[in-house]
Amino acid sequence: MKTAAEAKQAGYAASVGRFMSVNDVIASIGVSRATIYRMIAKQEFPTQHRLTAGRIGWWEKDVETWLQSRPVGGIDSS
C-alpha cells in the first residue's frame, strides 16, 4: 500500500482515498458537526487525523467503512 504522498507523486489516488474535511463528512453522512464529535467521543465514529498544524480530517476509506458497518433498514421493531 502506498502512502497518500507516494500516490500523489505517482499521479493516482491513495488506497485510503481522499482526505475529507468535516464539511465533506457532514455532506457524506448527513449528520451535524456536533453529532460527529459526539460519536467520536463515544468511539462510535472514526477519529480524525492531523494532516498539518491547521488541517484535520478523515480518510474517505475510514468513513466509507463506517457507513458500510451501519445497520440497514433502520430500527429493528421485533
CA distance 12 to 49: 21
Q: Is residue 44 assigned to a domain?
A: yes
Q: What is the pTM of this model?
A: 0.71
Q: Is residue 57 assigned to a domain?
A: yes
Number of domains in the chain: 1
pLDDT at residue 18, as a whole number: 87
CB burial of 19-52 (b: ≥16 within 10 Å; e: otherwise) equals: bbeeeebeeeeeeeeeebeeeeeeeebbebeeee
Q: Which domain holds residue 38?
A: 20-69
Q: Is residue 25 assigned to a domain?
A: yes
Render each residue's pLDDT in the chain as its tens digit; 78 residues.
Answer: 556 666 556 656 666 678 999 999 999 999 999 999 999 999 999 999 998 889 999 999 999 999 999 887 655 544
Q: Is residue 74 assigned to a domain?
A: no
